[in-house]
Amino acid sequence: MQELDNDRLVWMFTQMLRIREFEERVKRTFEEHPGVIRGHTHLADGAEASIVGSLATLQPGDQLMATYRCHGYPVALGTETKAIMAEIYGRKDGLCGGYGGSMHLVDPSRGFMGTSGIVGQGIPQATGLGWAAQLRSRSHSPQVVLAFFGDGASKQGAFHESLNLASLWKLPVVYVMENNNYNVSTRSEQEDANAAAGEPLSVKAAAYSMPGVTVDGGDPVAVYEVVGAAADRARAGEGPTLVESKVYRLSAHGNIIAPPGVPLHYPEHEAITTFGNREEYEAALRGDPVPRFRARLVEQGVLEADRADRITEEVRAEMDAAVQYALDSPFPEAETAARYDYVYA
Amino acid sequence: MARELPYIAAVQEAIFEEMGRDESVLFYGQDVAPSDDDNFVKAYGRDRVRVSPISETAEIGMAVGLALAGYRPVVELLMAEFMLVAMNQVVNEAPRLRYMSGGQVKVPLVLKAGYGFTAGWAGQHTGSIYGMFMGFPGLKIALPSTPADAKGLMTTAIRDDNPVCYLINYLLVLEHGDVPEGEHAVPFGEATVRRSGSDVTIVATGWTVGRALAAAQTLAGEGIQAEVVDPRTLNPLDTATILSSVEKTGRLVLVDQGTRHGGASAAIAAEVAEHGFGSLKAPIAQVTALDVTVPYSEPMEAFVLPNEEKIAGSVRQVLGEAPVAA
């Protein structure tokens, strides 16, 4: 694991900010450009530190898979934000040409091998990528796969089958569970035996004879160190690790679900709408990882406040341009739905 | 050169030979090569040949990941019904990822499974469930009916850049037939005419091909010349060969080991009704399994399946040589 020098720390802050500003624009689109986004979107605000801390461990050839809450990874990996936004807007210039949408971003050129819209189903696929990485490592430098999923997915058979196999075969996979404590609107202690018993969800790793670590997912450096140690272990051929990264989702699970014609929007967080617990949500806002990391870097003298402001302005300009680009991008020609070379390779 | 091999050996030979030709081919699954004395392990090693736990979602999901990473996994699933445990990976992941990515990825993998084992395996291991896979664009379906095709279709399945359900009819595994030595690939989407005839077209797959040929033999003794067409793959489906046969014969009997509704024969019937109606001199007839779960007890099991007599009877009916039921 490489030491995080000042440039790298500033890079991490910048990527966190880029994810945040991107997601805020997705959310604002529902208000500012009604009807432009269809279906369902899921935002990564609150998980930026976890995402960036994890992705900062990647080395050339490493790969990852994620869930339908997938905007943040390609943003941090360097996929053009205008292409991501255009995909979310269903436009021709979208990352996937408008065939996938918000839940199905993929950029194999950057190791982002895809997502599943179905809870837990990307985990075995990432495990297969892990087998492939193990085979490549026979002739190349060791490579690692990061498998991102939520706490809810850890109640799926796909999770348990995959961790068993990965541990059995010593596959170089780091399973990063972003635990935001809510399955849509159900709290973890209502549906997870470990949570109900007051234990961290990382104890599940013990059942599969692999290390399980819980980390503050609001601290990108802590995440980097934990995921980095797990990645080092995987590269050394010692097998997978389960990392429980505790985050707080700052938006609702997704925009409202409604039939065509009903304007969509983001409701308040489920802590408020389902449980009436505004204090929990406001406490999470006070611990918001993005300003928290900025303050820390400024305090440590890693980043001057002026420079942080300049970065912020640049990021905002980038994201405004992404929105404008996506709005200006044409829709795909309808008949390109019948591109059978996309149905069959 | 061809020599006689049992159907099941032809399947394994194709996998073995493709693994020799292409290092990216992997073979794994439940009970695959638990012993290091296994020929696959000795030839290709444990990196490429692995025995997996009973974890269909992980097995098939891993195949998707391996395929995305450039490998060509062949997953041994033993029974087609075991795919039902992992249906999301089979129908909602593997065949959709390329399209949803706007053509950025491809997912070459083979799901190898047996079906139709109506040999006293009762209700949950006997299904001919291929028809349900026809509703998922992106997923190919191969149903070999002879040892030669068993080899040739597996070779093609492995080389194909898409997910393929390669379905072995377990009633046929010990059937012997000539199988070409060395490289042998049967293209997908090319039906074959197993028997030529001018009076009626019988379309059959897998085990029912043999039943249809037996029925055709009987009918020949009555002066009825039946043409037997074996599509070999249901997706892609060679409707052109079926339509041109119907154009010649004017009559169509569809034989299907699967159930009647929502299945393969219904799909073929719809194609012919839409595109070949002008050729038809009689309504299309379907000889399928009954719409019941396959029962255990032998006489009941036989009762629900298509057989030579039912096929011949149906042919006589479409030829107007037997009373037509109201």
Q: Are B167 and B80 in contact (CB under 8 A)?
A: yes
Whether residue A161 lies within 8 A of chain B, CB to CB, comes out as yes
Q: Across the strands, what pairs with B312? A: none
- Joined tokens for residue A84: 């991501």
The secondary structure element, H or E, covering residue A243 is strand A241-246
Minimal Cβ distance to A342: which of B48, B58, B102: B102
| CATH code, B200 | 3.40.50.920
- Joined tokens for residue B108: 């070459």
What are the residue ranges of helices labelled H in chain A? Answer: 6-32, 48-55, 72-77, 81-88, 122-136, 157-168, 188-191, 193-196, 220-235, 270-273, 278-286, 289-299, 305-328, 340-343
Q: Which residues of chain B lie closer than 8 angstroms to A63, CB-CB?
A: 69
Mean pLDDT of chain A: 97
- Whether residue B154 is found in the same domain as residue B12: yes
pLDDT at B326: 38
pLDDT at A329: 98
Query: In which band, very low, low, confident or very high, does the pLDDT at B325 lie, cut at 50, 70 and 90?
Result: very low
Output the CA angle A156-A159-A160, nearest 5 degrees: 95
Answer whether residue B156 shows pLDDT above 90: yes
Classify residue B33: in a domain, yes or no: yes
**What's the mean pLDDT in A340-344?**
97
Q: Which residues of chain A lie closer than 8 angstroms to B161, CB-CB?
A: 344-345
- Whether residue B114 is found in the same domain as residue B229: no
Classify residue B210: in a domain, yes or no: yes
pLDDT at B321: 62
Among A94, A98, A114, A85, residue whose Cα is nearest residue A22: A85
Output the CA angle A109-A112-A115, nearest 5 degrees: 135
Among A127, A22, A90, A233, residue whose Cα is nearest residue B64: A127
Minimal Cβ distance to A100: which of B55, B100, B108: B100
pLDDT at A270: 97
Q: Which of B123, B153, B180 is the last residue of a domain?
A: B180
Interchain CB distance below 8 Å, A165 and B47? no
Give the span between the Cα atoms of B322 and B326, in whole angstroms. 12
- Whether residue B269 is found in the same domain as residue B144: no
Mutation target to probe the B interface, by most B beta carbons within 10 A, among A68, A131, A140 is A131
| CATH code, B53 | 3.40.50.970
Question: What is the count of structural domains for chain B?
Answer: 2
Q: Considering only alpha carbons, which residue of chain A is nearest residue B25?
A: A132
Domain, as residue range, for B303:
192-318
Q: What letter would DSSP give residue B186? A: P
Whether residue A333 lies within 8 A of chain B, CB to CB, comes out as no
Using one digit for the tens of pLDDT, what is the confidence trace for B64-113? Answer: 999 999 999 999 999 999 999 999 999 999 999 999 999 999 999 999 99
Tell me the nearest-neighbour CA distance from B223 into chain A, angstroms. Answer: 44
Classify residue B75: in a domain, yes or no: yes
Domain A6-337: give its CATH code: 3.40.50.970
Q: Find the radius of gyration of the CA atoms of chain B.
A: 20
**What's the mean pLDDT in A29-35?**
97
Give the span between the Cα atoms of B16 and B157, in whole angstroms. 13
Residues in chain B: 326
Give the span between the Cα atoms of A321 and A315, in whole angstroms. 10
- Whether residue B113 is found in the same domain as residue B214: no
ipTM above 0.85, yes or no: yes
Using one digit for the tens of pLDDT, what is the confidence trace for B194-219? Answer: 999 999 999 999 999 999 999 999 99
Classify residue B185: in a domain, yes or no: no
Catalytic residue list contains B125: yes
What Å distances lie between residue B37 and B18, B32, B34, B43, CA to CA? 20, 12, 9, 10
Whether residue A329 lies within 8 A of chain B, CB to CB, comes out as no
Output the CA angle B87-B89-B91, nearest 5 degrees: 65
Q: Considering only alpha carbons, which residue of chain B is nearest residue A135?
A: B47
Q: Are B31 and B71 in contact (CB under 8 A)?
A: no
The secondary structure element, H or E, covering residue B248 is helix B239-249
Classify residue B325: in a domain, yes or no: no
Answer whether residue B21 shows pLDDT above 80: yes
Classify residue B186: in a domain, yes or no: no
Answer whether residue B62 shows pLDDT above 50: yes
φ, ψ for residue A270, nearest 5 deg:
-65, -25
Using one digit for the tens of pLDDT, what is the confidence trace for B287-297? Answer: 999 999 999 99
Interchain CB distance below 8 Å, A125 and B71? no
Tell me the nearest-neighbour CA distance from A253 into chain B, angstroms. Answer: 22
φ, ψ for residue B3, nearest 5 deg:
-145, 165
- Joined tokens for residue B13: 């030979």
**What's the mean pLDDT in A291-301?**
98
